[in-house]
Amino acid sequence: MMALYVNRLRARPRPRLHRRSPARAGMTLLEVLVAVLIATSGIALLVPAFVRQLQVSNEPDRLTKVEAVVSSDLDWIRDYARWWKMQQGPYNLSSSITKTADDFEYSPELVYAPPASACESGTLATPFLEDASTVVTTPPRPFSVPAGGGSADLSTVDSELKVQRTISPMGSRVHLRYSLSGVRSDSLRFSRQASVLIEAAAWCEKTLP
C-alpha cells in the first residue's frame, strides 16, 4: 500500500514554470523605450515654457537698469544745459567747462554769455552740442554726446538688450528720444522722450544789439 502511494506521487505531473517568451520580453523593452520617448518629449515641451517664464521674471530688473541708464544720461545733459555759457553763478565751475571766454566767477547771481550769432539765429542747440561733446567732467559725463546730434547705443544692459539714444538740436532746445534694441526690446516696450531748454537762451535778448 505504501509503495502504491509513492508511485502515485511520482506519477503526479509537476507544475510547469511559466517563462516569458523572447517575444514577450521584446515588447517590455519596447514599452520602456516608448515611455522614455514620451517623457523626453514632455520635458522638451516644458523647457521653453520655463525659459520664457524666467525671462519674464527678469524683466522688472532689466527695466530698472534701463531707467538708471536713461536717468544718468539725461541728468548730465540737463545739468550742462544749465552750466553752458554761464559766466557767473553759485557753482564750482571753470571757463573750460562753461565754454566762456572769461574766467568763471563764483557768485549767487547768475550771468550768462551766450554767443551773439547763435542768439540772432536762434540756434543755440548746435554750438551747445559741439561743446558738450568735448566736456567730460563736473560731474563725469556718463556717455558720449555727438557734436552734430544723432543716434548712439548708450549701454548694454545685458546680452539681449541695449539702450539707444537719439539727440537732435531744435533751436534753443535739445530733443532726446530713448528706445531699446535687442531681442528683449519688444517685451519691455520702453520709450522715453525729453526736451531740454538751454538756459543761456533766456539771456540772448540781453546780448543782442
**DSSP letter string over 152-190?**
EEEEEEETTEEEEEEEEEETTEEEEEEEEESTTHHHH--
pLDDT at 142: 95
How far apart CA 66 and CA 112 sit, in angstroms, is 34
* Mean predicted lDDT score pLDDT of the chain: 83
Tell me: the pLDDT tens digits for 47-93?
554 444 444 545 888 899 999 999 999 999 999 999 999 999 999 99
Whether 129 and 152 have beta carbons less than 8 Å apart is answered as no
Residues 93-139 have pLDDT tens digits of 999 999 999 999 999 999 999 999 999 999 999 999 999 999 998 88
In a domain, 42, yes or no: no
Report yes or no on 183 lying in a domain: yes
* Burial of 110: CB neighbours in 10 Å, binned 0-12, 13-18, 19+: middle
Q: Please report, for residues 14, 83, 89, 147, the alpha-carbon distance to residue 166 in angstroms, rounded to integers and kept in the order given.
A: 94, 22, 30, 12
pLDDT of residue 7: 52
Sheet holding 150-158, edge to edge: 150-158, 161-170, 173-181, 191-197
Note the pTM of the prediction, 2 decimals.
0.71
**What is residue 50's predicted lDDT score, i.e. its pLDDT?**
44
Residue 190: φ, ψ to 5°: -95, 135
Q: How many CB atoms lie within 10 A of CB 146?
A: 15
Name the domain count of the chain: 1
In a domain, 35, yes or no: no
Residue 75: which domain range? Answer: 61-207
Q: Is residue 174 part of a domain?
A: yes
In a domain, 31, yes or no: no
Q: Does residue 70 sit within a domain?
A: yes
